[in-house]
Chain A
Amino acid sequence: ESCPSIKNILLLDSEGKRVAVKYYSEEDWPTNAAKESFEKAVFTKTQKTNARTEAEIAMFEGTIVVYKFVQDLHFFVTGGENENELILATVLQGFFDAVGILLRGNVDKKEALENLDLILLCLDEIVDGGIILETDSNVIASKVASHSIDAGAPLSEQTISQALATAREHLARQLLK
């Protein structure tokens, strides 16, 4: 596998509790317990470091973790042990800065939880199934924040049964081709 890949992105608070996490590698952490113990290990190991001005880096359990802290929030991006460290750092910076833009500079746990929908959408726009989608924080933030009413789409009044019917009809048409 030569494509750069991200194993997880974590946003924890100053006690190591989850604010938002996203795992892309189920085989490394198949259960919630495995995920929590990894988070605990990452948090404990990095807790005392000063990752506030520059992103820091650590290696353990066969992974590389880059991380950055602000206020009571701890940002982590994890990759495989042979991953290019600077790629991981770029993803971290994209996430970190995009959250800063979305929270209008008030980056702390309270603000993050109050805007959890934005944080989750942000994670969704950065990485898809382990593959990097976007690293430019401005692009990420603008994708998350774009919200105008979709005027172009016709008003949809479909009910479930209608949806089902259309789906069946569509299937049938495909089969007849």
Chain B
Amino acid sequence: MAQPLVKKDDDRDDEEYSPFLGIEKGAVLQEARVFNDPQLDARRCSQVITKLLYLLNQGESFTKVEATEVFFSVTKLFQSRDIGLRRMVYLIIKELSPSADEVIIVTSSLMKDMNSKTDMYRANAIRVLCRITDGTLLTQIERYLKQAIVDKNPVVASAALVSGIHLLQTNPEIVKRWSNEVQDAVQSRAALVQFHAVALLHQIRQNDRLAVSKLVTSLTRGTVRSPLAQCLLIRYTSQVIRESGNVQTGDRPFYDYLEGCLRHKSEMVIFEAARAITELHGVTPRELTPAITVLQLFLSSSKPVLRFAAVRTLNKVAMTHPVPVTNCNIDMESLISDQNRSIATLAITTLLKTGNESSVDRLMKQITNFMSDIADEFKIVVVEAIRSLCLKFPLKFRALMNFLSNILREEGGFEYKKAIVDSIVILIRDIPDAKESGLLHLCEFIEDCEFTYLSTQILHFLGIEGPKTSDPSKYIRYIYNRVHLENATVRASAVSTLAKFGALVDSLKPRVFILLRRCLFDSDDEVRDRATLYLNTLGGDGSVVETDNDVKDFLFGSLDVPLVNLEASLKNYEASEEPFDIKSVPKEVKSQPLAEKKAQSKKPTGLGAPPTGPASTVDAYETLLSSIPEFSNFGKLFKSSAPVELTEPETEYAVNVVKHIFDSHVVFQYNCTNTIPEQLLEDVIVVVDASEAEEFSEVASRSLRSLPYDTPGQTFLAFEKPEGVPAVGKFTNLLRFIVKEVDPTTGEAEEDGVEDEYQLEDLEVVAADYILKVPVFNFKNAWESMGADFERVDEYGLGPRENLTEAVNAVISLLGMQPCEGTEVVASNSRSHTCVLSGVYIGNVKVLVRLLFGIDSSSKEVAMKLAVRSEDGAVSDAIHEIVASG
């Protein structure tokens, strides 16, 4: 069969020589007529099929008619007894993927082959038939397939088993009937049959946890011959461990099996087991050690694939368990110069995670050398690793900032540049000392930045941070250069940034006015309009006056209407005599809970996030509440809680509540959604019984006029409470409203409504509502600089607990404070743990807490030592009181 398609001729040296040179679809289709010859030339036919397959492989496609014609003539080739030709026939039938009415033509030929004495025919016919068949035919051939699964020829058995795996997707009920045969095949002495049988058996049983667990138990005790099957078994074992849930203090079931696999003779299995161990939920250092040891050996392998696999896995482990990975540091360092850049990058970022402060400078030097050689996606990985390193070792910011600014100057795509800029912005925000140098690096970057988005974002950021620096004037040049050199979008943002400097820095006002006046002659409308607007609002008539607060609000405040609402109103506005009035835009925040959930699940980072960071949701609430006259005299909003659901999911009315804490008031914001299309609710209000909240008295309420289907709305209740006191209490809630029937066809509501009520769940105001989560970046420093003047220390018994993690989480949520430096994570099975928290107590008092936990190994009794430091002794006492009464 291995003959060339075209006779080898003399020009063997000709590099362009190819048997398919000048091949053309039409001509090959013509050639395919040889399939119809009464006297078949098997060799010739094979060659033509190869040509057809070549065309398909090169991406050529056949029309429906062409494919059908080829298919029909190919079916005639079943007459030939030439094995080589038959194999090519099988191949092309699969490639042509005939339609159901065509399949019937070859069914009988293939079924005959399935019963042939020749193993190769049986195996291939099964694969072809299962590939092209539909469910109806399957019942006919099911009997043969079951036989084939236990066929003594391994190739035939594998063909049937693999076909079973594919068919399980489309005809599960049929394949599931083959369990007994598959079970037999699992015991096969042929390695790959066992692999395919294990895979199929698991897939048949995958929805039955008990059956999977039994399968794993019996297989881990038996003999598994093929490395591939062993890998499968490791995966299934991990799954069983994962689903068995809670981590017991004792030995983990099946861990011994996984550890045993680390000594397997096949590297594939060793690696699979090592990886599985590192991914165990709540893996302990003791469990990790043997896995890390074998991965460490792989690091110095001569095979790049092995090194890559090991370093990639260790890199992942280092994110959660840096300490055990430090053992590999020496091997990791030698990988920094690895020929394979992927391996080098993974090694570097692993070292950045495991390294200590002293190794930072050296690592940075090594990274600089190879940054230019790697692809953008790896550069982003490095930049992110550097960002987190900088937050971990704030003292090293100079070296890291320098590195970031250097790579910012080099070539790179948008995503890469954005990652660098975001990192610099985060460093500026979190490390005060880094601010001035960081801003200058950004300024230099926009001098030669090809990305409009990044330029405008940086200009916006400069406008907020720049005026607050020691020498704001040095930024003006960079900003004004934009007005000369950039496109209209960037010019317009530069104008806004200039105005912000003018508004905040009085000494710069005259110079800013001159520059703004020059912008009045810009070619672009938006740039001119902005310049005019700012000159007017800032009083650009030459007189240097202090900018009044209204103007500052206008320049810096956030828009006091939600952008979506503004957008909707503008879309509805039709050009007319009457100007658009921004007051007509509804301020009520639609689908508030959703927006908020997003805001909380994704910590704002970089330029995309509002500059005040986590305070932004508070901003939105503040704007909303201050727009309600009844609440406008409550003062500054201290804290808004996360929404608390007051209804079960998927009930008629969905209500959640946000608790807004003021100094001497509490406002409940009930977000209501009506999920019944046939109803319109009016005069919606929540009636509260506060008899279990003695210190609170209701002072104001605001009902919701109308709550149509699927349009969230809010109703509010305000309570007075003693000033500055963290009053707690329980409130029962009843939703009261007038319901009107809505005609679903017209959407019109009926005139008359009926009053109705709906019971909601109870709501509690707890001590944690009075504490803001505010992180500190160096707890030790903060603790020491706070001093022991108002330190209060006491010990508490927390009773028996499942483990320390549970106790730590309970105390954290009771206090509602921010865990710092990752101390909320308790190492598995540890007997004692220290956790540090920080926060701001109502009245803006900083509080730091140090918790020391211990657990008795037999009785599970947990004891806790609580040390509180704050700026006020009464606050330190209050924290203790929260714990004592909690």
Residues in chain A within 8 A of chain B (CB atoms): 2-4, 18, 20-21, 32, 35-36, 45, 49-50, 54-60, 66, 84-90, 102, 110, 113-118, 120-121, 124, 128-129, 131-135, 143, 145-150, 152-153, 155-160, 163-164, 166-167, 170-171, 174
15 A-B pairs in the complex with CB atoms less than 8 angstroms apart:
A2-B232, A2-B236, A2-B239, A54-B302, A55-B305, A84-B268, A86-B271, A114-B8, A114-B19, A116-B19, A131-B199, A152-B118, A155-B81, A160-B105, A167-B108
Instruction: Let me know if B72 and A160 touch, CB within 8 A.
Output: yes
**Contacts between chains A and B (CB distance < 8 A), count:** 195
* Residue of A88, A117, A152, A174 touching B1 (CB-CB under 8 A): A117
Contacts A18-B57, A56-B304, A150-B86 given; indicate if A3 touches B5 (C-beta within 8 A): no
Instruction: Let me know if B118 and A150 touch, CB within 8 A.
Output: yes
| Closest beta carbon of chain B to A47's beta carbon, Å | 13
**Docked complex Cα distance between A90 and B191 (Å):** 15
Stretch at the interface among B158-166, B327-335, B475-483, B703-711: B158-166
Instruction: Let me know if B59 and A36 touch, CB within 8 A.
Output: yes
Instruction: Let me know if A57 and B340 touch, CB within 8 A.
Output: yes
Instruction: Let me know if B308 and A116 touch, CB within 8 A.
Output: no
Instruction: Let me know if A147 and B1 touch, CB within 8 A.
Output: yes
Q: Mark B222-237, 1 if CB is under 8 A from A, else 0.
A: 0000011001100110
Instruction: Let me know if B304 and A149 touch, CB within 8 A.
Output: no
Interface of A is mostly: mixed
Contacts A150-B118, A156-B81, A164-B104 given; indicate if A84 touches B1 (C-beta within 8 A): no
Q: Kindly state whether residue B46 has any CB partner on chain A within 8 Å.
A: yes
Instruction: Let me know if B339 and A149 touch, CB within 8 A.
Output: no
**Docked complex Cα distance between A133 and B8 (Å):** 34
The 3 A-B pairs of least Cβ separation, nearest first, read A32-B59, A85-B309, A86-B268
Interface of B is mostly: helix
Residues of B within 8 A of A167 (CB): 104-105, 107-108
**Docked complex Cα distance between A149 and B162 (Å):** 27
Contacts A117-B50, A121-B91, A131-B165 given; indicate if A56 touches B57 (C-beta within 8 A): no
Residues of B within 8 A of A146 (CB): 83, 120
Contacts A18-B57, A86-B306 given; indicate if A3 touches B81 (C-beta within 8 A): no
Instruction: Let me know if B304 and A55 touch, CB within 8 A.
Output: yes
**Docked complex Cα distance between A71 and B196 (Å):** 35
- Count B interface residues, CB 8 Å: 86
Give the nearest-CB partner of B343 in chain A: A57
Instruction: Let me know if A113 and B19 touch, CB within 8 A.
Output: yes
Give the nearest-CB partner of B137 in chain A: A171
Q: Kindly state whether residue B18 has any CB partner on chain A within 8 Å.
A: yes
Instruction: Let me know if A3 and B232 touch, CB within 8 A.
Output: yes
Contacts A120-B53, A152-B117 given; indicate if A87 touches B81 (C-beta within 8 A): no
Instruction: Let me know if B79 and A156 touch, CB within 8 A.
Output: yes
Instruction: Let me know if B50 and A120 touch, CB within 8 A.
Output: yes
* Residue of A113, A118, A132, A170 touching B20 (CB-CB under 8 A): A113
Residues of B within 8 A of A113 (CB): 18-20
**Docked complex Cα distance between A57 and B304 (Å):** 7
Instruction: Let me know if A132 and B140 touch, CB within 8 A.
Output: no
| B residues 245-297 in Cβ contact with A at 8 Å | 267-268, 271-272, 275
Q: Kindly state whether residue B770 has any CB partner on chain A within 8 Å.
A: no
**Docked complex Cα distance between A155 and B224 (Å):** 42
**Docked complex Cα distance between A21 and B60 (Å):** 13
Instruction: Let me know if A87 and B231 touch, CB within 8 A.
Output: yes
**Docked complex Cα distance between A4 and B232 (Å):** 8
Instruction: Let me know if A129 and B78 touch, CB within 8 A.
Output: no
**Docked complex Cα distance between A90 and B195 (Å):** 15
Supplied contacts A121-B88, A147-B84, A163-B109, 10 more A-B pairs, CB within 8 Å: A2-B235, A2-B239, A84-B268, A117-B46, A128-B166, A129-B162, A133-B162, A150-B81, A153-B121, A163-B105
**Docked complex Cα distance between A35 and B88 (Å):** 24
Give the nearest-CB partner of A166 in chain B: B108
Instruction: Let me know if A54 and B303 touch, CB within 8 A.
Output: yes
Contacts A36-B59, A153-B116, A158-B79 given; indicate if A164 touches B105 (C-beta within 8 A): yes
Residues of A within 8 A of B162 (CB): 128-129, 131, 133
| Closest beta carbon of chain B to A33's beta carbon, Å | 8
Instruction: Let me know if B4 and A114 touch, CB within 8 A.
Output: yes
* Residue of A4, A121, A128, A150 touching B127 (CB-CB under 8 A): A128
**Docked complex Cα distance between A122 and B876 (Å):** 76
Q: Kindly state whether residue B58 has any CB partner on chain A within 8 Å.
A: yes
Instruction: Let me know if A174 and B139 touch, CB within 8 A.
Output: yes
Instruction: Let me know if B1 and A118 touch, CB within 8 A.
Output: yes
| Closest beta carbon of chain A to B458's beta carbon, Å | 30
Give the nearest-CB partner of A84 in chain B: B272
Q: Mark B359-383, 1 if CB is under 8 A from A, else 0.
A: 0000000000000000101000000
Contacts A55-B304, A90-B268, A149-B81 given; indicate if A120 touches B231 (C-beta within 8 A): no
Instruction: Let me know if B108 and A150 touch, CB within 8 A.
Output: no
* Residue of B58, B159, B268, B302 touching A18 (CB-CB under 8 A): B58
**Docked complex Cα distance between A118 and B59 (Å):** 19
* Residue of A49, A86, A132 touching B305 (CB-CB under 8 A): A86
**Docked complex Cα distance between A129 and B158 (Å):** 13
Residues of B within 8 A of A2 (CB): 202, 232, 235-236, 239
**Docked complex Cα distance between A62 and B230 (Å):** 26
Q: Kindly state whether residue B388 has any CB partner on chain A within 8 Å.
A: no
Q: Kindly state whether residue B82 has any CB partner on chain A within 8 Å.
A: yes
Give the nearest-CB partner of A92 in chain B: B305
Contacts A116-B53, A133-B192 given; indicate if A85 touches B199 (C-beta within 8 A): no
Q: Kindly state whether residue B17 has any CB partner on chain A within 8 Å.
A: yes
Instruction: Let me know if B304 and A54 touch, CB within 8 A.
Output: yes
Instruction: Let me know if A56 and B108 touch, CB within 8 A.
Output: no
Give the nearest-CB partner of A104 in chain B: B2
Instruction: Let me know if B228 and A87 touch, CB within 8 A.
Output: yes
Contacts A131-B162, A174-B139 given; indicate if A3 touches B199 (C-beta within 8 A): yes
Instruction: Let me know if A21 and B57 touch, CB within 8 A.
Output: yes
| Closest beta carbon of chain B to A89's beta carbon, Å | 4
| Closest beta carbon of chain B to A13's beta carbon, Å | 10
Q: Kindly state whether residue B54 has any CB partner on chain A within 8 Å.
A: yes
**Docked complex Cα distance between A32 and B8 (Å):** 32
| Closest beta carbon of chain A to B167's beta carbon, Å | 10
**Docked complex Cα distance between A56 and B342 (Å):** 11
**Docked complex Cα distance between A152 and B105 (Å):** 23
Residues of B within 8 A of A135 (CB): 228
Q: Kindly state whether residue B530 has any CB partner on chain A within 8 Å.
A: no
Contacts A85-B305, A116-B54, A117-B1 given; indicate if A157 touches B79 (C-beta within 8 A): yes
| Closest beta carbon of chain A to B217's beta carbon, Å | 17
Give the nearest-CB partner of A19 in chain B: B57
Residues of A within 8 A of B129 (CB): none
Residues of B within 8 A of A159 (CB): 76
